[in-house]
Chain A
Amino acid sequence: MGELRDLYQEVILDHSKRPKNFGELAGANRQAEGYNPLCGDRETVYVRLEDDVLKEVGFRGAGCAISTASASMMTESLKGRTRGEAEALFERFHDLITGKNGAPKPGAPELGKLEVFSGVREFPVRIKCATLPWHTLKAALAGEDRTVSTELTEGPKAESGGA
């Protein structure tokens, strides 16, 4: 049962129960909605972007423990970063949870606390839960006024199915 504890680490459980930066962000000038059609999760990510710096990041919505904790910790780790740093961090995060060991881009920020999501790689069907807030953030930064679906961003369905 070691794997399960690797997935649901205490830090993740804490963030899922008491998420940080939760709620509509006053003064946000970027926002996007993310949707995972497999589980029905919806999250809105808000950003206050000033001179290419993410001054504040917040989110709202209902999701599983993994997506809620991921959103919460994402908002914490992005505050004060530039748009480029945010995107580079997502790339590293994505590599971490998909088990890729690519060399990080020069200058890419350290994952820091986000390392706790490494257990997700043993649960391929849960990757979309962890990446939903990040894909949503990307759409918000791109100023895309549409709902981001994990089905369009993470490729073919891993666990859909009839009835």
Chain B
Amino acid sequence: MKVLAIIPAYNEEACLEKTVEALRATCPDVDYVIVNDGSSDRTAEIIYDRGFNGINLPVNTGLTSGFKAGMKYAQRNGYDAAVQYDADGQHLPSFIPTMAESLEREGADIVIASRVLSGEKVGGLRGVGSKIISLLIRMTAHTTITDPTSGMRMYSSRMIDRFATSFDCAPEPDTIALAARKGFKVIEVPAQMQERQGGESYLNMGNAIGYMARTCLSIIMSCVLR
């Protein structure tokens, strides 16, 4: 099975290099592509200097669009699965083969690396938000997702096609809910994650609340409209 790791990178000079090195060392069989989403820092130079496989978007277009570029790359190069992989070092490469194996064995369309299934407690506001999204997905799609906000998700070739061609398909929990409702098989595997290894997160308190509100509304709206 040909697996591609899509690494969206926007101003990730602080940890991109370490992340890619770790990925290559741990999973030599897994291909990767960095999507440099119009970064203004040294991200592009790092890709060039180190000879990494990366595509450079000339302007910043946002995570959804950057990820779509990665999905188009996966589709055009005939990959069987693509995994969403953070550039900041939060995700551990050792779980990629486990996810790929589950995807193949269960015939799943989406495999989520779940921190909850491995016994990790997602506490605080983040945990509450995660539980609300879980509940919404259970209500609208009748599927139990323990860790909907996990950013490490693997998609089958059917989902790759969908991402590469559709007008509005974000690598976010609302897409998981929609896919589950449309009959795509969504499963989870236990996984650990690390703290961000450098650089800055865009998720502060205000953004987090906005993100939650948007995600919840989007799940409800797409339940009625799509």
Q: Do they bind each other?
A: no
Give A residues with C-beta under 8 Å from B: none
